Amino acid sequence: MGDDLYDISRFLPRSAPGAARALIGRAVEVRSLVAALAAATAGRGRAVALVGEPGIGKSALVSEIVARSRAAGTAVYAVRGRGGGASAAAGVRRVPDLGDVARRAADGAPSLVVVDDLHRVADEELDHVEELLQAAATGPVLCLLGYRRRQLSPALAEILAHAASAGMLETWNVPPLSPAQAKQVLGEQPHAEEVVEAAAGNPLHLQALGDDEDARARAGTAVLGELAGVDPDAVAVLRAAAVLGEPFDPELVADVADRDGAATGRALDELARLDLLRPSGPAGLLDLRHRAIGAVLYRQLEPGRRVALHRRAASALADRAAPIAVRADHIARAADPGRPDHATTLMAAARDVLYSAPAEAVRFLSAALPLLAEGEGRQHRHEAQVLLARAQLLSGDAAEGRELLDLLRSAMSGPQAAAEALADSSRVERQLGRLSEAGAVARAGLAALADRDSATAAALHIELADHAYDLQDYELSRQHAETAASIARRHHDRVGEAQALGQAAVAHLFTRDQGAAQAQAAAAAELIDASPDTTLLTNLYAVLQVGITEGLLGRFDASQGHLARAAELSRRTGQKQVGRSVLAVLANCQLRTGDLPGALATLEEQARGSGEVSAQGISAMLMAEVLHWHGAGGDGADATAVQTAADQALSIASGSQAGWAVTVRCFHAELVLHSGDPVRARLLLLDAAGGSGLPRLTAWRKPRWCDTLAEAAQATGDPAAVEQWARLAEQCLRELPSTGRLGFALRARMRAHASQGAVDAALRSAEAAMADFAESGERIELCRTLLAAATLALDTGRGAGVTDWLDRAAYLADRCSSARLADAVARQRGRMARMSAPVPAAPSAAAALTAREGQIAELVSTGMTNSQIAERLFLSVRTVETHLSQVYRKLGIANRASLTRTVLTGDPAQASAADPR
C-alpha cells in the first residue's frame, strides 16, 4: 500500500546526527522501512528480511529505523546472535532471549522487533523465529531480520523459505553503492578512484581500504568483532592468509602460519563456516572474503610477527618455485641483510616487472639498495640504481628519477659504464623542459660509446632526434632518426625501429618530402601493429611517436587507434609518464576530428598527473580550446574556464622557443581573436611566430596560422594584410602540398577575395576549403568554413547554397557537441529568415559593417545591454562600446532604438526618420 494511507510524519526526523554518511545511497530503503513502520503502528504488521554481503549496510539501516521508532515512542525489542548488529543502538530495550521477544511481540501493542545476525541464532530457538513471523503477519509489529545467506543453517533456511512462500516474509537485497555514492561516502582522498573500484560498492570495504584513520578504525572493529570466540589456530591461519594476500592452497597457508595439517584443516573449516574464507578458482584454492579483510588484519599485526610471516611466505613460495615477483613481494617487506639472495631476487624481480608494473619495480629496487651497500653487493649497486631511475621515470616520478640520474652521472667512473643511464637522463631533462641539458647529455653518451652499433647507441640517437625536433632542426632530427632506425633494424628491435621511423617521417614532413614521410609512417605503423602488447610495453614511446606522426599526416583514425592502445597499456601497467603524453596527443586528435566530449574526458584524465612540461602546456591549451568550442557564447562560467586554462598554458610555455611552446602561444593568440580582439591577436601571433615571415613555423605549420592572421586582418578592415597572409599560405603549399593544410590556405584566400569585394571567387575558395577539410576529417574547421561562407553570402545578399551550408554546419555542430557552433548556425539562420521577410533588408547597410559589428548590432536589436553582449561574446564592455560607436557612424544613426529599427527594416533612413529626436 502507498505511504499516504498511514501517518509517517512522526518517523521522518532522524535521531542520530551522524547517520547521514552511513546512509548515503539508502534513501529508497529508508523511505520504505519508515512506511512499513508507520503501517505497523496503524495495525498492519510486516516482516522484512534485509540480506546482503557482510558490510553492505544492513545494520546501518536497522539502526536508523530503531532510532526513528524510539524517537516516535514506539516500543523497540531487539535480539541478536553473537557479536555485531544494530541492537547496540542507544535506547533499544534489551530482552533476555528470542522467546521473550516473540512473547512481547504477540501482546498486541505496536512495536518494532529487530533480530540482527539471525544466522547466528541457536537451533533450539528457531521455533521462536516462526512465532515472530506469525506475530508480524497478524499484529501491529514490524519485524526486521538481518542475516547473511551464506551462513544460514539448513533448518533456518527452510523456515525462511516457507515464510516467504506463504507471504509472511519479504526479502530485500541491500544493493552495493553506485560509484558516485561510494565516492560520496569516501570523501576527498588521494586514491579515491582505486578504492572505489576495489570496494565494489561495499561501505565496510570503503572504510577499510581508504585513507581516513577513523573510518579504518571502525572497519577494523567490525572485522575483528567477527573473530570473537574464534579458535586461536583459525586466527593464526587467517593472519597468514592476510600476509599472502592472494589465493592459496591449504599446504602453503599451513607453512606460513606454522601449523600442522590437521590444525590447519580444522581452522580452514571454521573460517569457511564463518564466511571469512571462500573458494577461489580451480584446484581447491581459497582466499579471503575480500581484500579489505586482509587489509584490516595486516594492519593489526605486530611488526615482528609481520616480518616473520613474510619471511616464511618467501621461503615457502621459493620451495614451490613460485613466480619471482610473487616471492619478491614478501622479501621487499621483510628483507634480511644477512641473505645475499634477497637482493638478487629483488633485482631479478624488478627487471621482470620493469615495464609491466614499474611502481612494483621501484618498490623492489628501493628494498634491494640497502642490501647492496657493503661488500660484494657494491658491484650490483650501480645496476640497481640505473634500474630504479628508469622505473621511477616510467611510473611518473620524473623528479626522483632525475635526482638519482644526477647522482649516477657525478659518481660514475667513466661515461661508458653509464651510457644507458645517460639515455634515460637525456629523456628526463627534455621532459622537464631542460632542452640544452638534454642535448648535451645525449651527445656525451654517444661520444663515450665504444660500440656505436648497440641498442644504447640507438636509444641515444632517438634522444638526439627528439632534441633536434624540439629545436626545429628537422634535417638533423631526420639524420639521427634514420641512424637509430638502421641500428634497431640490425638488432631486430621492431618497436625501436618503428619509433625512429616515426621520427624520421615527421622530419621529412617538415622538410618538404611528403612521399618519404608517408612511406616511413606506413612502415612504422606496420611494425607497431605486428608487435604484441608485451613487446610494446618495453617502449610505449614508440606507439606514441607513431600516433603523433599519423596525426600530423591527417590519418586521424589510425592515430587514435594507436594512441588508444598506448593509453590502455599505460593504464594497465602504471607507466604514468608516457601515459600522460599519450593522453595529451590523443585529446588533440579528438579535438581535430570534433569529438569534444571525448577530448574533454581525455584531458580530465590526463590532468590527474603532472607529466612532462610540453604535455602540461599542450594539454592546458587544448583544454582552453575544447572548452571554447564546447561551450555557448553567453556562459560566463565557460569564458572563465577558457581563460584560466589558456593562462595556465601560456605560463608553462613562457620563455621556451621549443616547437610545442610556439604552438601553444599561437593557439592562445587565436583564442584572443575569437574573443573579439583582432589587433591584440595579430600582435601575439606574430610575436610567437617570430615576425612577419613566421620564421619559427615550418612550411607545414604556416598555412594554419596565415589563415588566423588573415581573419584578424579582415576583422580590422585591412585588405592588403589579408592578401599578404593568403599569399604566404599559398607559397607554403606550393612547397609542401598536404591535405588539411590546403584547407587553411584556401580559407585565407577566401578572406582575401572577400576583402577585395570578389564575393563569387571567395565563395569558390570556401567550397574548395570545405572539400579539403572534409577529406582530412577536421570537423571543427569544416564547420567554421561553412559558417564563414554562409556569413559572407548573407552579408552580400546572396542566398544560393546558404541553406545547405547551414544545414551541414548544424549537423557538424551537433556531431561535435559544440554549443558555440550551434549558436552561430542559429544566428545565421535568423538572418536568413529576416532576409526572406516581406520588407527586404538593405544590402548596403549590412555591407558597411564588419562581421563583429553586425553581430553586435543584431544583439542590440534583441534588447541586450552592453554588459550582456560583452559577456556573451567574451569581450570587454569598452570593446563593445567602441564597436557600437562605429556601427552608429557607418549607419548614420544616433541611438539603440534607431539601430533596432535598422536591423528590423534594413533601412537606416527609415530608422532615422522615425527617431523621435
pLDDT at position 430 is 74
Of 175-179, 244-248, 883-887, the range with the lowest mean pLDDT is 883-887
Name the band, by pLDDT with cuts 50, 70 and 90, for residue 800. confident
pTM of the model: 0.73
Is pLDDT at 666 greater than 50 in this prediction? yes
- The pLDDT assigned to 48 comes to 95
Q: Can you tell me the distance from the alpha carbon of 365 to that of 331, in angstroms, rounded to the nearest whole number?
A: 11
pLDDT in the model for residue 85: 35
For residues 779-785, give the mean pLDDT: 95
Detail the DSSP E strand segments found in 36-180.
Answer: 46-51, 75-80, 93-94, 111-116, 141-147, 170-173
pLDDT averaged over every residue in the chain: 85
Beta partners for 46?
142
Phi-psi region of 839 (alpha: psi -120 to 50; beta: other; left: phi over 0): beta
Q: Is the dihedral of CA 253, 259, 262, 267 positive or negative?
A: negative
Residue 244 φ/ψ, nearest 5 degrees: -65, -40
- Read off the pLDDT of residues 243-275 as tens digits, 9 standing for 90 and up: 999 999 999 999 999 999 999 999 999 999 999
Which is nearest to 533 in space by CA: 495, 560, 500? 495
Per-residue confidence band for 835, with pLDDT thresholds at 50, 70 and 90: confident
pLDDT of residue 310: 96
In this structure, of 79-88, 351-360, 493-502, 612-621, the range with the lowest mean pLDDT score is 79-88
Q: Is 618 exposed, middle or buried (0-12, 13-18, 19+ CB in 10 A)?
A: buried
pLDDT band at 834 (very low <50, low <70, confident <90, very high): confident
pLDDT for res 840: 45
**861 pLDDT tier (thresholds 50, 70, 90):** confident
- Is residue 364 within 8 Å of 390, Cβ to Cβ? no
CA–CA separation, 466 and 470 (whole Å): 6
Q: Do the beta carbons of residue 887 and residue 899 sit within 8 Å? A: yes
- Percentage of the chain beyond pLDDT 90 is 55
What pLDDT score was predicted for residue 6? 47
pLDDT digits (tens, 9 = 90+) for 592-618: 999 999 999 999 988 876 667 788 889
What is the DSSP secondary-structure string of 466-531? HHHHHTT-HHHHHHHHHHHHHHHHHTT-HHHHHHHHHHHHHHHHHTT-HHHHHHHHHHHHHHHHTS
Cell reading at 144: 526486521
Please report, as a single letter, which amino acid is at residue 466. Answer: D
* Strand ranges in 179-281 using DSSP code E only, listed in sequence order: 277-279
Q: Read off the pLDDT of residues 52-79 as tens digits, 9 standing for 90 and up.
A: 999 999 988 998 999 999 988 889 998 8
Return the C-alpha cell found at 79. 535480539
Query: How many beta carbons lie within 10 A of that of residue 759, not counting itself?
Result: 18
pLDDT 10s digits, 492-515: 999 999 999 999 999 998 888 888
In terms of Cβ atoms closer than 10 Å to its own Cβ (0-12, 13-18, 19+), residue 284 is exposed
Please check the confidence at residue 28 and state whether its pLDDT lies above 80.
yes
Torsion of CA 854, 860, 864, 866, to 10 degrees: 80
Residue 801 banded pLDDT, cuts 50, 70, 90: confident
Average pLDDT for residues 344-365, to the nearest whole number?
93
Q: Which residue has the higher pLDDT, 888 or 845?
A: 888
pLDDT at 18: 44
HEC states along 230-247? CCHHHHHHHHHHHHHCCC
Instruction: Give the best-scoring range by mean pLDDT among 37-41, 78-82, 508-512.
Output: 37-41
Query: Does residue 699 carry a pLDDT above 90?
Result: no
